[in-house]
Amino acid sequence: MSRTPDIDRAASRAAELRAVLAEHNYNYHVLDAPTIPDAEYDALLRELSAIEAEHPDLVTSDSPTQRVGAAGTTDFSPVRHEVPMLSLNNAFDDVEKTDDRERFAEIADFVRRIETKLGIENPEFSVEPKLDGLAISLRYEGGIFVRGATRGDGVTGEDVTANLRTIKVIPLTLRGKDWPAVLEVRGEVYMPRAAFEAYNEKARETGEKTLANPRNGAAGSLRQRDPGATAKRPLAFYAYAVYLPDDLDATIAPRHSEALARLRDWGFPVSPEVDTAQGFDGLVAYYRRIGARRDALPYDIDGVVYKLDRYDGQKVMGFVSRAPRWAVAHKYPAQEQTTQIVGIDVNIGRTGAATPLARVQPVQVAGVVVSNVTLHNADQIARLDARVGDYVIVRRAGDVIPEIVRVVVERRPEGTVEWRMPTECPVCGSALVRVEGMAVWRCSGGLACGAQRKEAIFHFASRRAMDIEGLGDRLIEDLVDLDYVKTIADVYKLDVDDWVEMKRRADERDGTVPETVKQGKVATKWAENLVASIDKSRATTLERFLYALGIRDVGESTAKALARWFGGFDAIANAPLEELKQVPDVGPVVAGRIVEFFAEPHNRDVIDALRAAGVVWAEHEPQRTVQGHLAGKTVVLTGTLEQMSRDEAKDKLEALGAKVSGSVSKKTSFVVAGPGAGSKLEKATELGIEVWDEAKLIAYLDEVGQG
DNA sequence: GGCCCTCGAGTTCG
DNA sequence: CTCGAGGGCC
């Protein structure tokens, strides 16, 4: 039988994948220094599995698909596992699909295979989070912990008994009396996220080496030669399986979930997230429930594990190759991915701040495609030594904004050069300068710089400033590029015809003339709406107007303080430095910025033009003392309020004299927490600060006549 | 001069 | 949300 070119190609790709995977296995298991994220490793392994499934002849005994892990190291004495430590099959989602049965097709298949083979419907599963740590096996004889070992290659691991003994949550003697003479408990050693961060913070202070991530922290800690060094690492452990090695047919309970409960009784920590679930729908519901809380869990997880609950059922299902057919690991979308930097641009903000931005090959991270990653500032780039062409690990963790975790220096292509902040503004060509000792570089072009002009207008129109609905970045971009506005005051000079004409010119320039226009129709409704909303913005408040001007370091809060203190605009514009410094929270720097702003004739002209265009606000007597039921109190709002908007609550509290702040400290008087409250509520509890729910706030407002 | 507490500014994707 | 830096207090 002659081999076809197809098979030859598959054979060479399989060999290539095996070589690559073997290298990564060594890095991961032996050196504890992976050079690619797990998601990428999984993708390579799946590709190899797929090739082998299609061409069974190509399967070799040394293929990574046929083994559980990599070879152990010789550092610690080898331990042969009487019951092999298996790996689980992984299931991934097809995120393109919206129907659950299609999206989670691999899970649906898994459940269906069990239902068919056992002839039952909606089998019961024991379900648990899959911690991102290190699998270990603990042996107990006569209720005493006698030996602990790493997984190694699944058959032979390393003796790490001394190090495991240092982990406080691992029982050295079992509680109760009804335990078997010999048992082996399997579980995951992991490093809680908070402990990981605290460890790194301390390591940074003392100049020690920091840990790359909690998983590496756990793995590295168990490999310490000196158990004393391990003891200093904040490790934890959860048990998830139990065996009776002297009689493998016997079990300590008929169901896995009951076995876990027994383990708990004997003193083993079992994850509180462990639960049971019925059939496909139950599994998916659990997957979603844990997924929604993934970031809030105190440890990293990369998925959830489903195990057929009944042991007799597990026995019937048996194994395929080395993985059980009665269990599966359902992975969440990766929160880390490798990609390549294709370019580094520099963004210019409203204040001229130059922010480097990495353009990367688009990759899916935690469910969205990331193509831009901020690099914050030049210091950050220098710290990371990120270069154009570099492969980098991108993460989208707790918050939404992607960041570069680190550069994969091992994969750096030849000929890359260190990145340097350009000397000129990429938009207007003015010099980029950095004030001694400051982190940010700034464009010195001021409002002559197109980027700063755009940002100034965007800020002026924003919701918390003049609140011009419909005037967004796209429109402002065209407005400035086509020279329709030079200053924020020009926005009020444009009529419907100007807007329509501007849009026509922009479309012409871009070659994107809409069909309707080609047919001779001109859309004007949007321009009418826009002009109406610009008109509406003319009636504003002193504090909004002050904020809208975009004076450096005068944000919402400072603008409000100035408005209260002076009561009128001219008093502020003409106030000498010393008087400004009297205002609470205004010091020499901010006072200087304000004086500087109003000393600039151009700014005076713009303000005059705005007033001439009909921008008005109410003025009042200076208010220099705080009055009301909540005078002197600092309140923090967190979570979602259901009866009123956050802004509404803020207004009402401020009307009572309270200061509404964004961060909890020991100065905080009380915290109003709605559903979904996170770190702020946690901090309040920690500091022993009074916490109100929304109902209590409403009752209080009613009582003092603000409801 | 050295803390702690706030505020300001910049940020990604759909 | 997070970082950096300004303000205020010891």
Euclidean distance between the first and the last CA atom of chain A, given in angstroms as a whole number: 87
- What phi and psi values does residue A19 have, to the nearest 5 degrees? -65, -45
Nearest nucleotide by C1' from A347 CA? B10
Asked whether residue A656 is marked as a ligand-binding residue, the answer is no
What's the pLDDT score for residue A633? 86
Per-residue H/E/C for A152-218: CCCCEEEECHHHHHCCCCCCCECCCCCCCCEEEEEEEEECCHHHHHHHHHHHHHHCCCCCCCHHHHH
Within 10 angstroms of residue A160's Cβ, the number of other Cβ atoms is 25
Rounded to an integer, the average pLDDT of A483-501 is 92
Indicate the residue type of A192: P
Greatest distance between any 2 Cα atoms in chain A:
99
Give the nucleotide with minimal C1' distance to the Cα of A397.
C1
The A 562-591 residues near strand C by Cβ under 7 Å are: 581, 584-591
Whether the Cβ atoms of residue A236 and residue A192 lie closer than 8 Å to each other:
yes
Q: What angle do the packed helices A105-118 and A279-292 form, to 10 degrees?
A: 140
Nucleotide nearest to A585 (CA to C1'): C7
Q: Three-class SS of residue A98?
A: coil
DSSP characters for A278-340?
Answer: EHHHHHHHHHHHHHHTGGGSSS-EEEEEEEESBHHHHHHH-EETTEESSEEEEEPPPSEEEEE
A632 touches strand C (CB under 7 A): no
Distance CA A678, CA A695 (A): 19
pLDDT at A73: 33
CA of A347 to C1' of B14 (A): 21
Q: Please tell me the predicted confidence (pLDDT) of residue A209.
A: 72
H helices of A482-587, in order, are 496-510, 515-518, 525-536, 542-548, 556-566, 569-573, 577-580
Instruction: Retrieve residue A308's tokens.
Output: 């057929």
The listed range with the strongest mean pLDDT (A51-55, A92-96, A489-493) is A489-493
Helix axis angle, A5-25 relative to A38-54, nearest 10°? 150
A125-153 confidence digits (pLDDT tens): 999 999 988 999 999 998 888 889 999 88
Give the gyration radius of chain A's Cα atoms. Answer: 32
Q: Return the closest-CA partner of residue A107 out of A301, A368, A335, A331.
A: A331
Mean pLDDT computed over A515-529: 77
Protein-covered nucleotides of chain C (CB closer than 7 Å) are 1-8
Confirm if A78 and A72 have CB atoms less than 8 A apart. yes
Single pTM value for the model:
0.67
Q: Which residue's structure tokens are 């931005």?
A: A357
Q: How confident is the model at residue A29 (pLDDT cuts 50, 70, 90)?
A: very low
Instruction: Please check whether strand B approaches the CB of A462 to within 7 Å.
Output: no
Rounded Cα gap, residues A83 and A106, in angstroms: 27
Q: Which residues contact A197 (CB under 8 A, 6 or more apart)?
A: none
In the three-class reduction of DSSP (H, G, I as helix; E, B as strand; rest coil), residue A464 is classed as coil
Q: Is A224 a residue whose pLDDT tops 80?
A: no
Share of chain A above pLDDT 70, in %: 92
A8 touches strand B (CB under 7 A): no
> What backbone phi and psi angles, to 5 degrees, belong to A609?
-65, -40
Q: What are phi and psi of A319, to 5 degrees?
A: -125, 155
| Bases along strand B below 7 A from a protein CB | 4-14
Q: Which domains does chain A have, with CATH numbers?
A: 5-66 (1.10.287.610), 90-331 (3.30.470.30), 336-411 (2.40.50.140), 450-617 (1.10.150.20), 626-703 (3.40.50.10190)
- Is there a binding annotation on residue A38? yes
Give the pLDDT of residue A174.
Answer: 86
C-beta within 7 A of nucleic chain B, residues 619-648 of A: 634
**What is the structure's pLDDT at A570?**
96
Look up residue A468 and give its DSSP letter. Answer: -
Six-digit token string for A49: 């599995």
Distance A437 CA to B3 C1' (A): 20
Q: Is the CB of A440 under 7 A from strand C?
A: yes
CB of A350 nearer than 7 A to strand B: yes
Which pLDDT belongs to residue A437?
A: 75
The pLDDT tens digits of the residues spanning A616-639 come to 999 999 988 888 888 888 888 887
Residue A67: per-residue pLDDT: 44
DSSP of A105-151:
HHHHHHHHHHHHHHT-SS-EEEEEEEESSEEEEEEEETTEEEEEEE-
Task: Among all protein residues, pick the one whose CA is nearest to the C1' atom of B11.
Answer: A401
Per-residue pLDDT tens over the stretch A394-415 = 887 655 778 888 888 888 999 9
In the predicted structure, residue A702 carries a pLDDT above the cut 70: yes
Q: How sure is the predictor about A168, in pLDDT bands with cuts at 50, 70 and 90? A: confident
Whether A425 has a binding-site annotation, put simply, is yes
Is residue A69 scored above 70 in pLDDT? no
Take residue A543 and report the two structure tokens written for it: 């504090």
Whether A72 and A149 have beta carbons less than 8 Å apart is answered as no
Specify which of A95-99, A135-139, A686-690 reaches the highest per-range mean pLDDT: A135-139
Decide: CB of A156 under 7 A of nucleic strand B.
no
Closest nucleotide over all strands to A561 (CA to C1')? B7
Find the residue closest to C1 using CA and C1' atoms. Answer: A399
Lowest-pLDDT range of A132-136, A144-148, A202-206, A462-466: A202-206
Token pair in block for residue A491: 């926005």
Q: Known catalytic residues of A? A: 130
Q: Is the CB of A539 under 7 A from strand C?
A: no
Strand B–CB A344 distance below 7 A: no
Taking the CA of residue A453 and the C1' sugar atom of nucleotide B10, their distance in angstroms comes to: 16
